[in-house]
Amino acid sequence: MIVLDIETSGLDSGRCGIWQIGAIDLRSKREFLQEARIDGEDVIEVEALKVTGKTEKELRDSKKQSQKEMIINYLDWLNHVKEKMFTGQNVGWDISFIQNKCIRYMIIDRFREIHSQRSIDLHAVVQERYFQIHGHYFIDGKGKSKMNLSQELEFCGLPDERINLQGSVVVKEGKPHNALEDCRLEGEIFSRLKYGKNLFLEYTQFKIPEVLKK
């Protein structure tokens, strides 16, 4: 199982760029983290700058490798991973974003050869476990899911120290989002839900809720 997370210059995969890819093979704990400059034509949304703590100059830093080079390096890393099943928060979006870039760079055949679109969305895993315990899903007054990554971390006994936005408004100050750090958090959530066990040493100080233990 691979935990995948990307950091982008916005939500529109057709107009925005990827500046960071993070991935962890949960079987071997091998990690991938690289950064790149986004393309000249890529749009940068204000919300993305707030979440990542970056400036436009940093996202377009000419000293960094190109976005295409980063994606090729990621595919090379992935090629050596035996089990190409993916998980993560809304991970289908991350995969589609990378796929769209591969189409732009005309490396889509390599993407199809190496990558997989098969994934287990972390949100669905948490909601199903929540339902098993409480007999209902975690939803708001309009019937929509309230289970974002912050809520998932809380459900699994983990703190969320990252900055959080609601639309363009900062609702909680905190650390900038980082693809590999988010991967590790999401991997820890997956392990606690599926196996009732701690995965990474840095999270052992946070007790696993009794309802999640096997």
What is the pLDDT, as a whole number, of residue 184?
96
What digits encode the pLDDT tens for the residues 3-43?
A: 999 999 999 999 999 999 999 999 999 999 999 999 999 99
What is the pLDDT, as a whole number, of residue 172?
84
123's enclosing H/E stretch is: helix 122-134
> Letter for the amino acid at 77?
W
Mean pLDDT by 10 residues, the chain (214 residues): 96 95 95 97 94 94 97 97 94 96 97 93 96 96 94 96 83 90 96 95 96 88
Question: Which of these, 163, 9, 2, lies nearest to 95 by C-alpha position?
Answer: 2
Q: In whole angstroms, what is the distance from residue 13 CA to residue 18 CA? A: 9
Q: Could you give the 3-state DSSP secondary structure of residue 154?
A: helix
What is the pLDDT, as a whole number, of residue 74?
98
Strand partners, 5: 22
What is the pLDDT, as a whole number, of residue 53?
92
Residues 42/17, Cβ–Cβ less than 8 Å: yes
Residues of the chain with CATH 3.30.420.10: 2-120
Homologous superfamily of the 2-120 domain (CATH): Ribonuclease H-like superfamily/Ribonuclease H (3.30.420.10)
What is the pLDDT, as a whole number, of residue 169?
82
Taking CA atoms, 152 is separated from 17, 41, 84, 130, 170, in Å, by 27, 35, 24, 10, 19
Tokens, residue 183: 């991967």
Pairing mode, strands 169-172 and 119-121: unpaired
Angle at the Cα of 12 from the Cα atoms of 184 and 176, rounded to 5 degrees: 35
Residues 13/100, Cβ–Cβ less than 8 Å: yes
Q: In whole angstroms, what is the distance from residue 158 CA to residue 206 CA? A: 6
Residues 101/15, Cβ–Cβ less than 8 Å: no
Question: Which of these, 197, 177, 179, lies nearest to 188 by C-alpha position?
Answer: 197
Strand residues in the chain grouped as ranges (E): 2-8, 18-25, 30-35, 86-88, 119-121, 164-166, 169-172
> Letter for the amino acid at 161?
E
